[in-house]
Amino acid sequence: MIASVDDLAAKLAEQRYLAEPNLATTLYLGLVLGKPVLLEGEAGVGKTEVAKALAAALGRRLIRLQCYEGLDTSSALYEWDFAKQMLEVRLGATAAESLYSERFLLKRPLLQALAPDPAGAPVLLIDELDRSDEPFEAFLLELLSDFQVTIPEFGTVKAAVPPIVILTSNRTREIHDAIKRRCLYHWIDFPNAERELAILAARAPDVPVALRAQIVAFVQRLRTTDLFKIPGVAETLDWGHALVALGAVELSPETVEATLGVLLKYQDDLARITGPTARAMADAARDARS
């Protein structure tokens, strides 16, 4: 369905995701070669949105596995419907050897992604893999290599058509080399001003043009300061929506002060920017884009 890198970039743009050329190339190669794609970058730069936009562009189902510390196979892959099994045993309706058949299998995201789908192979998003434990990474190796998993009581389940796999990481820890070897890799950085302006126009078209330019100028300047957590594109979009909700048509020091909590999520960062710094940055953004 995708003829070229440019075709893929155009289809993503239709979903309001503006993929820069290197990212579009990596995603295209992932589709053509049937390889998982690992996306790393700071929180809020649009990694999760890549998978959402790709699924929508291809007309495929999106299956998302949100990773967290302690994630295990019962949450990620499968578990047995114990209550149903016990009921069947009590009723004498099922032989003991048949209790571990597919009708008692509760499929979790990874197993769902291997199942046939009339619409085509789904997009499997393994989100924030760095939040999981290393044993879970090891468990993923079979899936990422052969698009199959082994269930001890049931056997090996292999995808007839491999899913399109996107993994993301905020790099709170290093992902193991064995995972990286099985993936194509791309680092998503913060966008430059021109690109961020285009993203804001595509994703928040209700923001007035002049205000849009001032927002981007302010955020770009904010990212050059010494902050614990630099705001991402997600925060830029949230700020645009917040300012529209307040009826703002341009940045004023008072409005910036009142809404800094949309951009900054740590007290130390707020304390560093609030006051004269915020006013000076608001004035500079307004003057630079006036």
Tens of pLDDT, residues 174-193: 999 999 999 999 999 999 99
Does one domain contain both 246 and 124? no
- Among 151, 168, 187, residue at a domain's last position: 187
pLDDT of residue 93: 61
Given a cut of 90, whether residue 249 has pLDDT beyond it is yes
pLDDT tens digits along 136-173: 999 999 999 999 998 888 888 999 999 999 999 999 99
Does one domain contain both 197 and 110? no
Residue 135 sits in a domain of what CATH number?
3.40.50.300
Does one domain contain both 132 and 174? yes
Does one domain contain both 146 and 222? no
Residue 212 belongs to what domain range?
A: 193-288
- Among 137, 171, 187, residue at a domain's last position: 187
Please tell me the pTM assigned to this model.
0.90
Does one domain contain both 183 and 68? yes
Does one domain contain both 76 and 197? no
DSSP structure string for the chain: ---SHHHHHHHHHHTT----HHHHHHHHHHHHHT--EEEE-STTSSHHHHHHHHHHHHT--EEEEE--TT--HHHHTEEE-HHHHHHHHHHT-S-GGGTTSGGGEEE-HHHHHHS--TT-SPEEEEE-GGGS-HHHHHHHHHHHHHSEEEETTTEEEE-SS--EEEEEE--SSPPPHHHHHTSEEEEPPPP-HHHHHHHHHHH-TTS-HHHHHHHHHHHHHHTTS--SS---HHHHHHHHHHHHHTT-SS--HHHHHHHHHHH--SHHHHHHHTTHHHHHHHHHHHHHT-
Does one domain contain both 164 and 199? no
